Amino acid sequence: MARDPSYWWHPATQADPGEALRLEAAAGQQQRFAELDALAARLLGAALAGQPLATVTPAGDATPLTGPR
């Protein structure tokens, strides 16, 4: 029985970063996750720079999302 390709990431959870990237590439996922990798890098950079990443608004006081503040 062929292995289900949707579970390629299971071994990656126990791998070092280099091996995880090799598993990602071998499964043909590197392009799919390129945008997520870039997003994660931007979020990490903002967090390390002390910039707020999210604003929590109590229910009832919702305002339209207008982009970065």
Q: pLDDT tens across 34-61, in order? A: 777 788 888 888 888 998 877 777 766 5
Burial class (CB in 10 A: 0-12, 13-18, 19+), 57: exposed
- Residue spans of beta strands (DSSP E) within 4-64: none
pTM of the entire structure? 0.39
Domain boundaries, the chain: 9-40
Can you tell me the distance from the alpha carbon of 52 to that of 47, in angstroms, rounded to the nearest whole number? 7
Assign 1 a pLDDT band (cuts: 50, 70, 90). very low
pLDDT at 29 over 50: yes
How high does pLDDT run on average in the chain? Answer: 75
For residue 68, name the pLDDT band (cuts at 50, 70, 90).
Answer: low
C-alpha span between 36 and 4 (Å, rounded): 23
